[in-house]
Amino acid sequence: MRRRTKVLIGSAVALVLIGGTAAIAGPIVYRDVIAKPADAVPTISAGPGTLGSTPTGRLSAADVDGAWSVGSGSEAGYRVNEVLNGTDVTVTGRTSEVTGSLTVQDLTLTKAELSVDVASIATDSQNRDDYFRSTALRTDRFPKATFVLTK
């Protein structure tokens, strides 16, 4: 074989090996180094006296009956497990742009209206946010998601 042919074959083999290594290691590096861990799962808690003083821990209708509104610090969003660049990643998108109110009567939710500015939901990736807003939810046409209790 001529020297030039050997160099071309060697270069092609090296290129295939480098490409294969990148295809295998790339997603692992993305998952473990580049992608930040998913946000913690939200929790709900009530401080002492928030819903009355029930020493037994049981709620009565009087504790929850009435009109309620979404408080400051409330969040809405999504959490999804996706395969990104060939590896499993948990992604969270959140917004604090949430408004709404609800009414409870005799421990029954009788009225509710909640609204979320979905155009403001953000993750750790601008590319993902752009896809979410333009393709997944089309927030240019539907910037808010609203839930209204009808029954």
Which CATH number is 115's domain given?
A: 2.40.128.110
57 confidence band (pLDDT: 50, 70, 90): low
pLDDT tens for residues 63-115? 788 999 998 889 999 998 888 667 788 889 999 999 999 999 988 999 999 99
Within a domain: 48: no
Whether the per-residue pLDDT at 48 is higher than 60: the answer is no
Expressed as residue numbers, the domain containing 20 is: 1-34
On the 0-12 / 13-18 / 19+ scale of CB atoms within 10 A, 115 is middle
Within a domain: 132: yes
Instruction: Judge if 75 and 123 occupy the same domain.
Output: yes
The whole-angstrom separation of Cα 69 and Cα 104 is: 11
Whether the per-residue pLDDT at 41 is higher than 60: the answer is yes
Instruction: Judge if 63 and 120 occupy the same domain.
Output: yes
Within a domain: 51: no
pTM: 0.64
Length of the chain counted residue by residue: 151
List CB contacts of 69: < 8 A, sequence separation 6 or more: 100, 101, 102
Instruction: Judge if 20 and 94 occupy the same domain.
Output: no
Whether the per-residue pLDDT at 15 is higher than 80: the answer is yes
Whether the per-residue pLDDT at 47 is higher than 90: the answer is no
Whether the per-residue pLDDT at 151 is higher than 60: the answer is yes
How many domains, the chain? Answer: 2
Closest CA relative to residue 149, chosen from 118, 95, 109, 108: 109
DSSP-derived letter for residue 70 is P
Instruction: Judge if 71 and 127 occupy the same domain.
Output: yes
Q: What is the chain's percent helix, strand, coil content, to nearest 5?
A: 35, 30, 35
Instruction: Judge if 150 and 106 occupy the same domain.
Output: yes
130 confidence band (pLDDT: 50, 70, 90): very high
Q: What is the DSSP string of 100-138?
A: EEEEEETTEEEEEEEEEEGGG-B-S-HHHHHHIIIIIS-
